[in-house]
Amino acid sequence: MPTILLADDESAITDNLAPLLTRAGFDVVVAHDGQEALDRVRAQDPDLVVLDVMMPRMDGRAVLRRLRQEGSSTPVILLTQVGESSERAMALEEGADDYLNKPFDPQELTARIRAVLRRRDGDRRGGPGQFQRLRSGSVVLDRVSQRVWKDGREVVLTPRATALLSYLMTHPDEVMTRERLLEAVWGWTFQTSTRSVDTRIAELRRELEDDSAAPRLIATVLGSGYRFAGSVEKA
């Protein structure tokens, strides 16, 4: 049973979330401020931490920075009321594994916890998130240089399409809603249309699929979004 540390100074949130996460199959530990959260991570080594950004004694981002400075790789999901893309980008740069804006659907938080834990387990087994160069069939992606090849020939993609491909290839076989892709790749949720995702998916299919009308790499999941269906390995 994975242990989740839930750190939030709003008792209304922890009182509701802790039982829900317990019913979802997690062992839940609660902290009510940043310093307590840091102390509990050090003492109990949870499998994942859910951190509110705005907390007394030490804010969530300060806790995250301290953990990473101490060499902790414990996955962290930040809860924030700040929606600007720059704020979320900075959180990811500082080592957050995911973020969720308040108010949020508790079921979405549960799903994100499971997804982060799956990625952590995949990374421990040498999953795609560990490697600079990834391959799926004849497609090769260099995540550092943001370059893509197909059949040994470099393919020129727009920067956003390349970032989208990188995100999909490091989350193989996960169903991604358009809203989730907007948030993760574009950096915001509601300031642009989900059609932007469809446009970039069409670009990827046009350049990388053998037949864009019958895609094998990037599958459409009806009523949900998209899924990277190709197998992914280290290139």
Whether 21 has a pLDDT exceeding 60, the answer reads yes
Nearest one of 84, 27, 209, 61 to 226, comparing CA atoms: 209
Quick check: 18 pLDDT over 90? yes
Q: Which residue has the higher pLDDT, 174 or 199?
A: 199
Average pLDDT of the residues in 49-77: 89
In the block, tokens 């062992």 appear at 27
pLDDT of res. 184: 76
Please give the backbone phi and psi of residue 208, each rounded to the nearest 5 degrees, phi first. Answer: -115, -25
168-190 pLDDT per residue, tens: 998 888 888 888 888 778 765 44
pLDDT-above-90 percentage for the chain: 40
pTM for this structure? 0.58
Which tens digits make up the pLDDT trace of 136-156? 999 999 987 889 999 999 999
CA separation for the pair 125, 112 (Å, rounded): 20
Arithmetic mean of pLDDT, 26-52: 93
Between strands 3-7 and 153-155, the pairing is unpaired
With tokens 């509601």, the residue in question is: 190
Of 100-109, 113-122, 173-182, minimum mean pLDDT range: 113-122
Q: What percent helix, strand, coil does the chain show, rounded to 5? A: 40, 20, 35
The model's confidence at residue 39, banded by pLDDT at 50, 70 and 90, is very high
Q: E strands within the chain? A: 3-7, 27-31, 48-52, 76-80, 98-101, 133-136, 139-142, 147-150, 153-155, 176-177, 218-221, 225-228, 233-234
Residues 64-97 pLDDT 10s: 989 888 888 889 998 887 655 556 666 666 778 8
